[in-house]
Every structure is written in structure tokens, then in C-alpha cells.
A and B are shown apart, each in its own frame.
Chain A
Amino acid sequence: LAKTTQPISMDSYEGQEVNITCSHNNIATNDYITWYQQFPSQGPRFIIQGYKTKVTNEVASLFIPADRKSSTLSLPRVSLSDTAVYYCLVGVVYNTDKLIFGTGTRLQVFP
């Protein structure tokens, strides 16, 4: 199974850019990289997914180097409402599309 490693926690201030890096040394050729956000008392919510290079949507950017052994979620100009836990997932693809969650990064944004 692909194992992911993320920082346990990060602090930031409103208006700053936040970059959260995830290591996944055992990523397989067919695996995608997906990030989720979880607020207290809620289920995780999809943020962004990528395979290689850079992906950007209205919420975040995802940077994946050529070797795909890590990925970085970039949140531009964070606000207090971005305080949450962020999970990096690497798809484990055998004959299924099961994904395994890691421990997550707790982001705290201060005013």
C-alpha cells in the first residue's frame, strides 16, 4: 500500500500562502494524488486531484514533481475559514479504486 507522510500541523496568518507537502515514495504508476479538507464535525471534502505537473482550480493548486514521490498543496491567501485538517491520499490501484487516508495536517490560521 502507498504510504503518505505529512506534517502533523502548520500555523499561518490570514492573507498568506500556505504550502503543505506530502511524501509518497511508494506511489505506483497508476496512482492519482488527491487532497481533502475536513472541518470539525464534518466529513472530508474534496479539494483537488492530480497525476503529474501542476493542477489549479478555484480553491487551490497542486504541484507534483516529475518523480511523483511528493506533492504540494498550495492555498493562496488563506482566511480563518481555511482552518481545518488537510489529507493527502495516494490511490492504491489494483483492480479497484480504493484510496487510503493518511494522518492529515492540521492547519491553524490566525487573524
Chain B
Amino acid sequence: GAGVSQSPSNKVTEKGKDVELRCDPISGHTALYWYRQSLGQGLEFLIYFQGNSAPDKSGLPSDRFSAERTGGSVSTLTIQRTQQEDSAVYLCASSLGGLQMGKNIQYFGAGTRLSVL
């Protein structure tokens, strides 16, 4: 695909259930980011993958949140035992990766809107 793809676009779940959110980055992009955006708020960084390096998990709000990236491509963000405060739009982005200008421009998916009832 030409852009970053996220699925599902919407997810409604009950409090206490686990959810998995998927991100397909742009082909060839080595860097992948997950963000959370609550209604009317800015983007909150969650986790960052760069190539085969250990992910930067410094933004994960609790141990209920985890993410993996298989084969350096597709990533899954998992939220266990969801709470109502987890309701937000979860955005994924990818970039070419690297320190040179232009290589860190992020391309975003449309996001997954998660609603926890």
C-alpha cells in the first residue's frame, strides 16, 4: 500500500477485555511509532521501534500496554484489561529511519478509535 494502514478503524470493547490494534507501515520504513490522542488533545507518545533495536517503551502508560513488531514490518499494540480511560484514538506512524534531515519525517495512519464501555 502507499500509506500507513491501521486496523480496525473503530473498536468498541467492554471494560476488562483485551484488545489488539494493528499497524502496517510504509514498505521500507525502518522506524515505527505508536501514539495515543484523547479527544481534543495532542499526541501522546507510546512506543518507538527502529530496525532491529530494542524498542523505546518509555511512553507506555502502564504494564497493561505492550507492542511488538514482527519481521521489522507489521506492529501490534495490545492493551490488556482495558479501562475506560484507555478510550482514545491510537495513531501509528512510520519513517525511513536515520538521523539525516528528511529521514525522520513521520507518515501517519488514520488511527484506530477505541471506545471502552
Contact = CB atoms under 8 A, between A and B. Distances in A.
Contacts of A104: 42
Contact of B98 (A30, A41, A97): A97
Interface in B35-65: 35, 42-43, 45, 48, 50, 53, 56
B54 to A, nearest CB: 11
A103 B42 contact: yes
Contacts of B101: 32, 49, 51
Q: Could you say which interface size class chain B belongs to?
A: 20 to 34
Interface in B52-104: 53, 56, 91, 93, 95, 97-99, 101-104
Interface string A18-60: 0000000000001010101000011111100101000000000
A93 interface: yes
A24 to B, nearest CB: 15
Main DSSP-derived SS at the A contact region: loop
A36 B33 CA distance: 15
Nearest to A46: B105
B88 to A, nearest CB: 13
A104 to B, nearest CB: 5
A99 interface: yes
Given A43-B91, A46-B105, A87-B43, A98 B48 contact: yes
A77 B109 CA distance: 28
A101 B43 contact: yes
A96 interface: yes
A96 B48 contact: yes
B42 A97 contact: no
Interface of A: 30, 32, 34, 36, 41-46, 49, 51, 87, 91, 93, 96-104
Interface of B: 4, 31, 33, 35, 42-43, 45, 48, 50, 53, 56, 91, 93, 95, 97-99, 101-111
Given A34-B105, A91-B104, A101-B45, 18 more contacts: A32-B101, A42-B108, A42-B111, A43-B110, A49-B101, A49-B102, A87-B42, A93-B99, A96-B48, A96-B50, A97-B95, A97-B98, A97-B104, A98-B48, A100-B45, A101-B43, A102-B42, A103-B42
